[in-house]
Amino acid sequence: MTLSDAEPSRPYFLALLLRSIAHVGLAHVGFFGLGREVFMKVAVFSTKRYDQRFLNAANSSYQHEFVFFEARLTAATVALAKGFSAICAFINDQLDETVLRSLASYGVQLIALRSAGFNNVDLAIAQELGITVVRVPAYSPYAVAEHAAGLILMLNRKLYRAYNRVREDNFSINGLLGFDLHGCTVGVVGTGKIGECFAHIMHGFGCQLLGYDLYQNSECLEMGMRYVEMPELLASSDIISLHCPLLPATHHMINADSIQQMKPGVMLINTSRGALINTRAAIDGIKSGQIGYLGIDVYEEEANLFFEDLSDQVIQDETFQLLQSFPNVVITAHQAFFTRNALESIASTTLSNIAEFEAGKVCDNQVQSAPR
């Protein structure tokens, strides 16, 4: 059982609180040092050491007051937010109706997301409760696009197998046969900031680009991308990479039907959100050979797995375990964003978002309503 699943007891809260106070560290130093009072007290959820490091470093120019909680924000842990006027959350924090109503009852006025995606927030309820939601719309699209390209090379040239073989003095290259990316057709689903960077990279490899989006991106058009409807993209692409947000309209956009429309042996890459793919359908596609390669940085049930060291536990998610067992599947645990550049950018934008709210300004990064 993870911390977030457990019904927290009072000692649990006390322990978390004490540990968190120890973690506040430099965030408190100079709290009143700039001669102005700090109004926003921010509870930071799902924090790892790297979050604290980058937020504390960026805070030297702001002097916000942070209390860092390692716990994921759920209905079971939301009471930790009592006494705070703002919370800072990450992608697997649950900001559903129950949690939002509790936050509102504690007087929380601001949710500062450390992410671009906001599919984990019930925006309608947040609006009804008068809670402002801000996010980091762009931190490093290069980070995610480059990771997607990394997954492609890893799968195509079977680098994960090659690495292990050479370490064991097995220098055979049998089974490592790949294909040239040059000349391949790459379908980019979602040609926003990350999709555009990804298209640039694949263009550099000499790939033909197909795009599907509700809006055409002029940069992508300039590099020769041809916008097509989804059925044509599915049928014509050797590699399909997903870069659109998770919305009701895109939930399970990759399903048994769409997989059936793909080229046999297609490579499917998802660095966007897990629930864009119906995992059971993907497993069937891998077993039948319709999907030749699957590279994912996100998984629809990742909330109970990713970002934690579970290496000494028996993983109960059989779907995930089955997925792991295939030789043509590479999974990374939501690390596409994880570059120094991205973390610096996330920290500085998050802090400036909080400062703008605190100053009563309209924040450009406010999430207004359900996305288009």
Encoded one letter per residue, x for contact with ligand NAD by CB under 6 A and - for no contact, window 133-172 reads -----x--x--x----------------------------
Whole-Å CA distances, 299 to 187, 271, 333, 361: 20, 9, 8, 37
Which residues, other chains included, contact 51 with Cβ-Cβ below 8 Å and sequence gap of 6+?
44, 68, 90, 114, 343
Distance CA 291, CA 238 (A): 10
The reply on whether position 85 binds ligand NAD by CB under 6 A is no
Closer of 146 and 213 to ligand NAD (Cβ): 213
* Region near ligand NAD per CB under 6 A, out of 35-43, 57-65, 66-74, 212-220: 212-220
Task: Count CB-CB contacts under 10 A for residue 184.
Answer: 18
Which stretch in 104-112, 166-174, 180-188, 266-274 sits in contact with ligand NAD by CB under 6 A? 266-274
Taking the CA atoms of residue 138, residue 143, residue 148 and residue 149 in that order, the dihedral angle to the nearest 10 degrees is 130
Which pair of tokens denotes residue 259?
């997989």
Contacting residue, 272, 278, 279, 349, with ligand NAD by CB under 6 A: 272
The rounded distance, in Å, linking the Cα atoms of 287 and 328 is 10
Stretch that binds ligand NAD, among 4-12, 39-47, 106-114, 267-275 (CB under 6 A): 267-275
Q: Give Dmax over CA atoms of the chain in angstroms.
A: 68
Q: Which residue in the set 212, 227, 293, 357 belongs to the binding site for ligand NAD (CB under 6 A)? A: 212
Beta bridge partners of 208: 185
Q: Is 214 in the site for ligand NAD (CB under 6 A)?
A: yes
Per the annotation, the verdict on 302 as an active-site residue is yes
Shorter beta-carbon distance to ligand NAD: residue 38 or 137: 137
208-212 vs 41-44, strand pairing mode: unpaired
**Binding residue (CB under 6 A) for ligand NAD from 336, 343, 351, 354:** 336
Active site residue 273: yes
Interface contacts to ligand NAD, rule CB under 6 A:
116-117, 138, 141, 144, 189-195, 212-215, 243-247, 249-250, 271-273, 297-298, 334, 336-337
| Catalytic residue list | 273, 302, 334
